Structure formats: structure tokens, C-alpha cells
Amino acid sequence: MAERGRVRVEQGHKQVRGYVSGALVFATTRPVLVWEVPYYPAYYVPVEDVVADLKATGEVRHSPSRGDSDVLDVHAGGVTVPAAAVRYAASPIPELRDLVRFDWEALDDWFEEDEPIYTHPRDPYTRVDVLASSRNVRVVVDGVTVADSSSPRILYETGLPPRFYLPMTDVRMDLLQPSSTRSHCPYKGEASYWSLTIEGSGHDDAFWAYRSPFPESQKIAGLGCFYNEKVDIYLDGVLQDRPRTHFS
């Protein structure tokens, strides 16, 4: 492992592949995990493992930590994806110089081994545990109790506060309106959202649920959750402090 200021660099061990319109862009068993932000890593790929043609656009982007990068168009399977990759060939971090970073959204499909992955690479230091509980969870918004349950599933995810997933029958669904918002988590799957209205006051995307979570998170299937950061949660009658996270 190497650490340079706020950027951590670590050798990965999974086979990782990326595709555009069904055409292979890269295939590597030597991916490099780079924590450009604290919350999750990005994959960097050895240039020797890139199958697609990479063409410099002439644009240069600067990162305070990683240095200057050449912006690259990606040509694969007769398709050109503009500005889909960068290379830090003269980076002050030597481990990055012979690697290519592909924009996540620019590729159509990413695989770790033979399983598709979504949103971003899984952090090898993140663990998700879902535990059944009989603790009482009461959720209050603007003085109104919007959920009250003694059968929560508590999800513990590294780096985040415990999340209390509640049966829909224990939630005031009459106060919730479906939202068009969707989000994806590499550990849990796709989440659907609801907005909350209390006496005319709206709270956008305050509640979410995973209808069909990934196998490792099946215990939260069909259960819903409120942001601890944005509501008052009483656990066994004790008001919990609102945590400060990037969701606050």
C-alpha cells in the first residue's frame, strides 16, 4: 500500500473488465485501487491491459494530488466514447504513471470476475452486516411520528451510522409519495425513494427501500429506511444524535 497525502493507492487482486456496446475495453488481473475521495476507490488499469484504442484529445486536466493528466478518447468495437479516460503519465505518484483511469459512466458494463458491478468499485475495507433486532425504533419528523417498529433490521456499513430498515406496515405510508429518484449501491443494489409531506412541509427523498437487493443484503428486501441525518430517531425511547456524514 502507498499513501500520498489524501490519495491512497493499493494493488487489487480481482479480475476486472470493462465494456462499451458489448466490445471489450480492458481486461486486467492487476487492477489498482485509488482512493481519490475518502468514501470509495476508483479502478486504475495497467495500460498494457487495455484492448481499446486510446487517442489523446489534447486536453490536459490537473489534479492537486495526482498531477496533470492527458484526456483520452476511447475507441472500441466501432464506437468512440469521447473523453472517457485519463492517464497521469507524469504523476508525482509513481504508481499511477503506467495506468489508465476510465470514467465510470462512460463504460456500459463493469465486471469484477464474472459479476457485474454498479456505481463504483467495492471497497475491500467496507463490510455490510444486517442484523434482526427487537429494539424499538420510532421516527419523528416535524413533531409527527412517521414510523414505529419493534422489528427493525439494523444495517451496519463501515464508515456510516447504523441504518434502521423497517417493515412498511410500521411506516406512515400515507404521508409518503413515490419519487422518480433511484440510486445504486455496489453492496445493496438499486434503491427506490419516497418524499415525505408533513402538514404541507415537504422532505424530498427522505425514505428509501431496496425491493430486490443483492444476495448479501437480502435481509433488507422490501424494508424501508429514513436518513438518520435528517430525522429524529428514538431508539428504545432515547433520542439519537443526528450523525454528520456526506448525506447530511
Model confidence pLDDT, tens digit, residues 45-69: 999 999 999 999 999 999 999 999 9
- Alpha helix ranges (H) inside 135-195: none
Amino acid 6: pLDDT: 63
Rounded to an integer, the average pLDDT of 87-103 is 97
Res 1 pLDDT > 70: no
Res 17 pLDDT > 90: yes
User: Rounded to an integer, what distance in angstroms lies between the CA atom of residue 196 and that of residue 29?
Assistant: 46
Residue 121, amino acid: P
User: Rounded to an integer, what distance in angstroms lies between the CA atom of residue 4 and that of residue 23?
Assistant: 35
Coil vs helix vs strand at 218: helix
Rounded to an integer, the average pLDDT of 201-207 is 93
In this structure, of 18-22, 35-39, 54-58, 105-109, the range with the lowest mean pLDDT score is 35-39
Domains, the chain, ordered by start: 2-117 (2.170.150.40), 128-239 (2.170.150.40)
Which string of DSSP letters, residue by residue, matches 63-129? Answer: ETTTEEEEEEEEEETTEEEEEEEEE-TT-SSGGGTTEEEE-GGGSSEEEETTEEE-SSPPPTT--EE
User: Rounded to an integer, what distance in angstroms lies between the CA atom of residue 31 and that of residue 10?
Assistant: 9
How does the average pLDDT of the chain come out, rounded? 94
CB 88 within 8 Å of CB 66: yes
Amino acid 200: pLDDT: 85
Res 2 pLDDT > 60: no
pTM: 0.80
Rounded to an integer, the average pLDDT of 182-199 is 94
End-to-end CA distance of the chain: give it in Å, rounded: 31
Dihedrals phi, psi of 108, to nearest 5 degrees:
-80, -35
Res 4 pLDDT > 80: no
Burial of 104 (0-12, 13-18, 19+ CB in 10 A): middle
Amino acid 3: pLDDT: 43
Amino acid 5: pLDDT: 54
